[in-house]
Amino acid sequence: METRDSTPDKEAEPIDTPDRAGTLQEALWKAVDKLRGSVDAADYRELVLGVFFLRYVSDAFDRRRAELARELEADGVSEDRFDAFLDDPDAYASARVLWVPETARWTWITSHVKSRHLVAVLDGAMAAIMREHTSLAGALPRNFHDGVDTKSLAGLVQVVDETRFTETQGRPTGDVLADVYEYFLVSFARAEGRRGGESLTPRSVARLAVELLEPYEGRLYDPACGSAGMLVEAARFVETRRGTAHLDDLVVYGQEINEQAWRLARMNLVVHGVEGDLGARWGDTLADDRHPGLEADFVLSVPPFNMSHRALNETDPRWRYGVPPRDGANYAWLQHALAKLGPYGTASVVLANGSLYAKSGCGIRRAMVEDDVVACVVALPPRLFHTTQIPACLWILTKDKGPQGTRGSVDRRGQILFVDAREAGTLHGRTERVLTEADLARIAGTYHAWRGTLSAGGKRAAYRDEPGFCASVGLEAVRHHGYDLTPSRYVLHAPVGSATQDDRRGELQALTRNLDVLFD
């Protein structure tokens, strides 16, 4: 009988999901959810996350203030001069910490928890922060009077106040609180179902998109940023690989059509210490681009799947490859991403599988292939998104598939990399699939080897086709298949004469999967 090592395989573990978070998050979620009553999940989400935001910025402010006091004391500065230094907003901004006015500090808020004026105190706290930081003007929620009675609101403040966000497993207190904030974003999205899930990308999908692009520095843009999960993941990538000191190397931009999601995104960036430009207001990217002059080095996006759009301007210069069909905006998002890229930029866009073969967009797809802007297509496993069962894929687009000057990339002009990753991931619960660390490494590593990019590990690996998983295909083969970009069309077969029984079994399984795709 085969024996297995009982030591957990970290590479086989799924990327963190809300149910895998610690007991702190779970207990806090249960306590907060009990106070919700009959309040709509979407309304309650903004209220709860607003309270967490106030706690977070105040705690960060207090920690920075204590740190400054220690530095002043060590430098021999007399106590009578402390206030002049401790009240300098620049001393906080340099550490990516918001200066918090006195009427927005957590001690002020909790001192009014039993007051009938608590609602006004919370609204006033948000207003004070927005007055102090003009970049947040109009961005934070001020609706604590809506839907929740004062008693429940006081209970919420008390629950958040009584929670000790202490250091765990060597992680700073601020990171723990930020994790709780992210946990609540995901949990509320689950509670809202389809409506909530549209503004939140599963973390394993965000991780994959970021790992494929490796955005170490430059301008990164998400045209459908939701609650800013992709932007936060990109910043986390830089911090993990190069350290906090390099966070400024990446400048992030975004746009979001939904007002509430846009406000949550602004708070999410602050909580994670990410400076970003999400526009002065929310808005429809396809109808009203809020970053018209932007040339991005990276575009990351998971727009709503198969969204119809009736307001497209047919003369818009973004539609270089053809006016997108109004009954599905997939090709509008792809062309918008390309329009935003600089000369050497790269985009990663996650769309419904229909974008790979739909007849209604075939002309646009053909034009993009012939212009050689499609670098890679990845077929993703099913059930990655808990709000939809629609199969998804990932497009990698670029305006230059050549060596790109001093970057030394492999010249891939006239070729497209197809990756069939439908078997990747592991089931989390009964309905949701999550990509593992090993999945991310395999998919991203395959692309980087093919493109010849300097991988995260600083190694260059040679690319080779892998039957059933990946294939580098010339444009002539794509023409032969009528510009159908479904990866399984191109990665089915092993070289002639090398097929084994296992290979044939794999081909049969792949053919079965193809039939499943056709009947989806």
Cα 81 from Cα 71, distance rounded (Å): 13
Tell me how crowded residue 130 is: count the other CB atoms within 10 A of its CB: 17
Contact status, residue 49 vs residue 184, Cβ threshold 8 Å: yes
> Which has more pLDDT, 139 or 405?
139
Using the predicted structure, report yes or no on whether residue 469 has a pLDDT greater than 50.
yes
Whole-number Cα distances in Å, 80 to 76, 77, 87, 88, 471: 12, 8, 13, 15, 70
Q: Give the phi and the psi of residue 413 in degrees, each rounded to 5.
A: -60, 135
Helix, strand, or coil here: 276? strand
Which single residue is written with the structure tokens 């792809």?
334
pLDDT (tens digit, 9 = 90+) per residue, 319-341?
999 999 888 899 999 999 999 99
- What value does the mean pLDDT take over residues 435-458? 86
Residue environment code for 153-173, b if the CB has 16+ CB neighbours within 10 A, otherwise e: bbbbbebbeebebeeeeeeee
pLDDT: which is higher, 106 or 84 = 106
| Amino acid 6: pLDDT | 38
The better pLDDT of the pair 35, 474 is held by: 474
Closest CA to 447 of 361, 377, 355: 377
Lowest mean pLDDT among 4-13, 297-306, 421-430, 454-463: 4-13
Backbone angles phi and psi of 132, in degrees to 5 = -75, -35
Name which residue leads in pLDDT, 286 or 409.
286
Mean pLDDT, range 470-486, rounded to an integer: 97
Residue 57: per-residue pLDDT: 93
Whether pLDDT at 500 is above 60: no
For residues 197-220, average pLDDT: 88
* Overall average pLDDT of the 96-117 stretch: 95
The CATH class of 194-489 is: alpha beta
Q: Which of 350, 306, 53 is nearest to 202 (CA)?
A: 350
Q: What average pLDDT does the structure give for the chain?
A: 84
Average pLDDT over residues 371-398: 93
Domain ranges of the chain: 17-188, 194-489
Find the length of the chain: 520
Of 16 and 160, which is predicted with more confidence?
A: 160
In sign, the C-alpha dihedral spanning 346, 350, 353, 357 is negative
Helices (H), 227-321: 229-242, 259-271
The arithmetic mean of pLDDT across residues 167-189, rounded, is 73
- Nearest alpha-carbon partner for 251 in 273, 271, 235, 228: 235
Q: In the chain, pLDDT over 90 holds for what percent of residues? A: 55
Report how far residue 398's alpha carbon sits from residue 261's, in angstroms, rounded to the nearest whole number: 29
Paired strand residues for 395? 349, 377
Say how far apart CA 43 and CA 50 lie, in whole Å. 11
DSSP string computed for 160-202:
HHH-----BTTB-HHHHHHHHHHHHHHHHHHHHTHHHHTT---
Grade residue 518 by pLDDT with cuts at 50, 70 and 90.
Answer: very low
Q: Where does the pLDDT of residue 168 fall: very low under 50, low under 70, confident under 90, or very high at 90 and above? A: low
Q: What is the tens place of the pLDDT at every residue in 231-288?
A: 999 999 999 999 988 989 999 999 999 998 899 899 999 988 899 999 999 999 999 9
Residue 493 CB contacts under 8 Å (≥ 6 apart), including other chains: 467, 499, 507
Long-range contacts of 357-364 (CB under 8 A, 24+ apart): 357/484, 357/485, 357/486, 358/328, 358/330, 360/325, 360/327, 360/328, 361/322, 361/324, 361/325, 361/328, 361/330, 361/331, 362/482, 362/483, 363/321, 363/322, 364/321, 364/322, 364/324, 364/331, 364/334, 364/335
Q: Is the confidence at residue 457, as pLDDT, over 50? A: no
CATH, range 17-188: 1.20.1260.30
pLDDT, average across residues 100-115: 96
Output the pTM of the full model: 0.84
Which strand (E) or helix (H) includes residue 82? helix 82-86
